[in-house]
Structure 1
């Protein structure tokens, strides 16, 4: 049985308090009395109430002042004001300051009961919403991050230590390893959790529009700028800005990001006024930014500014012990979403899942589990529900001889080892891109998805290796 509502009644007239107590207790509510506004605030500071009823005119602290103090103690506490005849204007001011409603003396008892009932329902609903929001924050923070491997435990330990600070974080890892989930955890468990959390995918927005998206623009700054528009830095003030795929950001724009980090101020496109911003930056990339900076494809000074606390997420193939719990997690989620009965993978299918190399990491695993559930009618997900290429892969010959021959091709001791390694990496990268383009008939978006990189990144690498003759788009 739920506890009865507790109502605080504050009025300097003892007879009025007695009348209200009798009415409210007959409705089944518990009532506490206060002879003035100060006493009401002191009572609320030490006890929890479902509703407060305040007279506007009281000694020591009037109803309007007490309203502000009570809202500071408990922002979700509904407050109903009582006013004498002719005090309607003051009561309306109280409503504008946060009171739920008011009634005038002498009041109609039935009307008062209705107002109290609705105020209590409103307060209960508000508390429910706050509880659900807190639950959602907790779920978004760590509920979907699954991993018992040492690599993931180390990464999550670092997340827990950094999320209570305001330090800039750089999350690295292959595409599909869960970088956005880590960014969620950092924001929703930090001191800025109730402030805005905005996300920008730097690879998904054309270079010409990215500056305006981040910094906003003034009216008339360019063709089509018919009104002033604040950017993500302004909108995320006091909160967190997640810059995903930051390695794809144009060099010219990187200088402005550096200034925003150093000076904590920005200028809108077409503007001349500096705007102060208080924003925590969490960035993510699937690129090796140290290597990109060394090759002058990414600003070294910005890299050092971003790399205050680096968090590297391991590829799924490097944390195979996490595959079974991840499979169980996705199976439970998608069975419920698709209206299917609880199901599980047969041992032979699970063996294939654990043996697979997972180039698309957790995102690819999630898609394969969803596909298997869609294609299966019964409770057991068999090998036949897995993609053909995964079933064939278990019989594929070893590539070690091919890898050894590639290394031998660079076995020239007259060339420094770092140069040989870089050339080898470039050759492997070009070969992988050729293979992906061949497999997708030259379709760049499909090839990028297969490689686990953005289309823009693929475009840049194709320019580097002269591969445009291989595409059909």
Structure 2
């Protein structure tokens, strides 16, 4: 049996759970028959139960009964490698569920995901992925497709700060300008020299920017 957010359980209900764990028995609400159970219990919380027990906010006996094999799971923002794996799994899950076909995240969006603080952890990631699969028509999901609430969080995130938001927007704008000029003037060496001249940068700088945004070809 899995009990999520066990730290939010009211104190008056905790003895009932303790009885089930200790005696392997319970009685249904309104019933008289004592039912014996054989279960393995997993409980999860984002609270510090030890501190709550010391403060009288959580039963100490229940805390020690639950804390047999504790597993500490780091926040999603501290597990960069997991973010991409989970995103790919969720893209496949909701792509099949919503019959939207295969989709993938753009390189820019992957960078944003890895730098985002994810205050809602995996639940927030799953909600965002479900939203993106629903509303994105193209096969590649870009930062422009992000929900407004997440864009606002990125801009005010205390870890990345507004500078990160500004940097991201400037890079996206620069990429669009370069892509537009390549479409207009062409991609030959002579065309790129002309673009560099128009932008007021040297040719080497232009090539670095084209490489940065994968616009070489």
* Distance (Å, rounded) in 2 between the aligned partners of 1:249 and 1:268: 18
Task: Give the match's secondary structure for 2:71.
Answer: strand
Quote how far apart the aligned CAs of 1:268 are.
4.4
296-305 or 384-393: bigger deviation: 384-393
2:188 match: none
Shift in alpha-carbon separation, 1:285–1:396, aligned structure 2, 3 A: closer
2:79 match: 319
Quote how far apart the aligned CAs of 1:302 are.
0.9
1:289 match: 49
* Distance (Å, rounded) in 1 between the aligned partners of 2:93 and 2:27: 44
Equivalenced residues, count: 160
Deviations 1:429-469 (A, max 9, x none): xxxxxxxxxxxxxxxxxxxxxxxxxxxxxxxxxxxxxxxxx
TM score, norm. by length of structure 1? 0.31
8 Å CA contact 2:117, 2:157 repeated in 1 = no
Which of these residues, 104, 125, 128, is aligned with residue 365 of structure 1?
A: 125
Which of these residues, 100, 105, 110, is aligned with residue 350 of structure 1?
A: 110
Shift in alpha-carbon separation, 1:248–1:350, aligned structure 2, 3 A: same
Quote how far apart the aligned CAs of 1:395 are.
4.8
Quote how far apart the aligned CAs of 1:255 are.
1.9
8 Å CA contact 1:264, 1:276 repeated in 2 = yes
Shift in alpha-carbon separation, 1:319–1:263, aligned structure 2, 3 A: same
Task: Give the match's secondary structure for 1:278.
Answer: coil
Task: Give the match's secondary structure for 1:314.
Answer: coil
291-300 or 252-261: bigger deviation: 252-261
Quote how far apart the aligned CAs of 1:293 are.
0.6
Higher helix share: 2
Q: Is 1:377 aligned to 2:137, yes or no? A: yes
Task: Give the match's secondary structure for 2:42.
Answer: strand
8 Å CA contact 1:372, 1:386 repeated in 2 = yes
8 Å CA contact 2:117, 2:159 repeated in 1 = no
2:12 match: 252
* Distance (Å, rounded) in 1 between the aligned partners of 2:128 and 2:69: 33
* Distance (Å, rounded) in 1 between the aligned partners of 2:95 and 2:48: 37
Structure with the greater alpha carbon radius of gyration: 1
* Distance (Å, rounded) in 2 between the aligned partners of 1:339 and 1:272: 49
8 Å CA contact 1:246, 1:283 repeated in 2 = yes
Shift in alpha-carbon separation, 1:376–1:288, aligned structure 2, 3 A: same
Within 5 Å, give how 1:443-454 maps onto structure 2. none
1:230 match: none
Q: Is 1:331 aligned to 2:99, yes or no? A: no
* Distance (Å, rounded) in 2 between the aligned partners of 1:296 and 1:289: 10
8 Å CA contact 1:352, 1:390 repeated in 2 = no
Q: Is 1:340 aligned to 2:103, yes or no? A: no
Quote how far apart the aligned CAs of 1:279 are.
2.5
1:298 match: 58
Within 5 Å, give how 1:42-441 maps onto structure 2. 241-269=1-29, 274-396=34-156
Higher strand share: 1
Task: Give the match's secondary structure for 2:44.
Answer: strand
Quote how far apart the aligned CAs of 1:382 are.
1.2
* Distance (Å, rounded) in 1 between the aligned partners of 2:63 and 2:4: 14
TM score, norm. by length of structure 2? 0.64
